[in-house]
Amino acid sequence: MALRRPPTRIELKADDIDEYDEIMRERDEANNNGCYSTGRLEKNKRSGGGNASSGRSARKMAAAKRIGISIER
């Protein structure tokens, strides 16, 4: 027989929302000013590909941007 425990209560405070908004704003600014420019990725998509390695590189850069890491070339 399993013991029952009361459900965990998660509370969201106004300070938490403000902190989240600040972090997201900083992340957006870093992405806009960072080494990953969406223009370069969009150019690769529009140009029709080029060689296969440039497509892979663009996909790697996009994936790295999504998860928030930097890739050294």
* pLDDT mean across residues, the chain: 76
d(C-alpha 70, C-alpha 59), whole Å: 13
d(C-alpha 3, C-alpha 5), whole Å: 7
pLDDT computed for residue 21 by the predictor: 92
Nearest to 64 by CA among 36, 41, 44: 36
Q: Is the pLDDT of residue 70 over 80?
A: no
pLDDT tens track for 3-25? 888 888 888 888 888 999 999 99
**Residue labelled with tokens 């029952």:** 4
Counting beta carbons within 10 angstroms of the beta carbon of residue 62, is it exposed (0 to 12), middle (13 to 18) or buried (19 or more)? middle
Token representation of residue 12 = 């969201």
